[in-house]
Structures are given as structure tokens and as C-alpha cells.
Amino acid sequence: MGLSWQQGPLSPGAVGRFIVPEPLPKRLLYIERQRRRMRVRFGGAWVADSENVLLLFEPARYPVAYFPEADIAPGVLERVEQVTQHADLGATSWYSVCADAQHVAARGAWQHTDLPAHASDLQGRIAFAWRGMDAFYEEDERIVGHAADPYHRIDIRQASRNLVVRHSDRVVADTKRPLVLYESGFAPRWYVPREDIDEAALVPVKLQTFCPYKGLCSYFSIGDARQAAWSYPDPYLEVRRIANMVSFEPDVVTVQLDGVQLHLEPGQSVVPHGPDRNLDVEEFARA
């Protein structure tokens, strides 16, 4: 996803390669100024507020926001005894985040305290545990799941190709007006209008997940094919075109595009990862 996750250029499963005479290191870390105001809320208080956040990209991880110490509210950080070792950035000291006596997040923040010279940009900066805080904001809008990756992109295109979905002997969907959604690091996903679907084949399941870029997602089973399809009933404004349309998992049911069966390539499955994987639906709905 984006620069360093899924199949991005800094991820272990990158689909492209750098054209250089010598092999690059297996682990490449990248930092970049976010160029957006970012805030952290905990215990009913703003514990950090900065327009000088650095994003750290590590292979197979979502980007992490690092705040200057000067932009963190006085008295909210309390160093704990535990020190861990980062594989690339050296010794890491941990802090409890204390908004007041009733709101304490143990190991809620960390700082790399013995940085190699080439990583000195992170000197004196603090990162907050995403799940440990109440919320993160860009300006006055909450950012759900993880810091936004500026290299993550979604494009939606109208198509007139024939998309047919089958399970066993049943035609579940047949359309010549699908939308195709291209998302960084993932296979193209084809969305079908409800009018071109046998709605009786879709059985809603209790599972709901969220995407920081698209919104809250609902799932359907088809016969014995579990979680074979999904839909965004009320997606974010930026991807409103897929609202209430349905996409089908080509490795669970048969999906054919102009007669050619679709399959996911290795590394293109959605893999829960990072600090957002345990975010519950109720918390998302409050965002």
C-alpha cells in the first residue's frame, strides 16, 4: 500500500525494481516531511500539534508520524525503564502518555535515542502509538487507521467490458458497465452495479472492516463461498462513484472479464497489518 506496504517500491514484495548497477539493501528506510498540520488527541486533550511532522517509511509497514519534542504538550510524556532495539535506528526509549491521572497510555510513545548519523533527521522526535491514543487529526478531520501515505493513490475508471461472476452453476453478476478501481499496491478491483447482480445470491455477513482511503466496508457470502464479495455503502467522498456497488473476490468465486478468468497475483491479497488492524467498527463510526 503506497510507498512501503503491499507491493510498493520499498516493500519486500515490490512489483517493480530500481534500475541501478548494484543491488540495493534489502531494507530501505525513507523519511519525508508531511507538509500537513497533524494533531494527537488523548484523554480529552491535545497532546501534540505540529506542522513539522516527519513520516518514516519502513518496509512492510504503514508510515509513522514523528513529532518534534517542542510541539508536544508539556508534562504529557513520562519515560519508562524499558529500552528496545530497532533493527535500523538503534536504541528506542519508551514513554507513558499522561493526559491526567485517569488517562495514562503505558508505552504510548517512543523515541530513537542512539540514531546513526545518516538518520539524524529523527533526532529529538517522538512517535505516538496509533492504537494507544484517542485519535489523530489532520487539521480538524480525524485520520483513521494510520498516517496517510502521500504515495497511495486511487483512480476509478468506467469500462464497457463484459464482467461475469459465477459460483457453481449460478450466474451471480453479468454487466457491461463495470467500474474498475486502481489502488496503489493492489490488483485492479471491478465493481458491479446492483441492477446487474442477482441480489438473492448475496448473503450479508457480520464482518465489517474499514479502509483509511475508502471507508467502511461490508461483506457478503455466496453459497458456501465465504466473504466472496464486498461493498462500500457510504464511501468517502473521493471514491463516491463505487457507493453501494459490489466487487467480487476472484480467488473465491469465478470472475471473468471478456471471457478471461481473473486471478490475483502473489502479494495482491489484502493483508491486515500495522497499528490499525484491531480498530473496531464503533470507533471508526465515530471518526
3-31: buried (b, 16+ CB within 10 Å) or exposed (e) per residue? Answer: bbbbbbbbbebbeeeeeeeeeeeeeebee
* Distant-in-sequence, close-in-space partners of 280: CB < 8 Å, separation ≥ 6: none
Q: Indicate if the pLDDT at residue 286 is higher than 60.
A: no
Distance CA 210, CA 273 (A): 13
Condensed to tens digits (0 to 9), the pLDDT of residues 38-56 reads: 999 999 999 999 999 999 9
> Are residues 131 and 84 located together in one domain of the fold?
yes
CATH code for the domain of 233: 2.170.150.40
Condensed to tens digits (0 to 9), the pLDDT of residues 169-187 reads: 999 999 999 999 998 878 8
Into how many domains does the chain fold? 2
> Are residues 139 and 163 located together in one domain of the fold?
no
Distance CA 63, CA 209 (A): 20
CB atoms within 10 A of CB 241: 13
Q: What pLDDT, on a 0 to 100 scale, did the predictor assign at position 17?
A: 86
Q: Indicate if the pLDDT at residue 244 is higher than 90.
A: yes
Distance CA 142, CA 120 (A): 30
pTM: 0.81
If you compute the radius of gyration of the chain from its CA atoms, what whole number of angstroms results? 22
- Dihedral sign from CA coordinates of 249, 253, 258, 264: positive
> Are residues 77 and 199 located together in one domain of the fold?
no
Listed range (76-80, 116-120, 143-147, 259-263) with the worst mean pLDDT: 143-147
Q: Is 239 within the bounds of a domain? A: yes
Condensed to tens digits (0 to 9), the pLDDT of residues 112-139 reads: 999 999 999 999 999 999 989 999 999 9
> Are residues 138 and 248 located together in one domain of the fold?
no
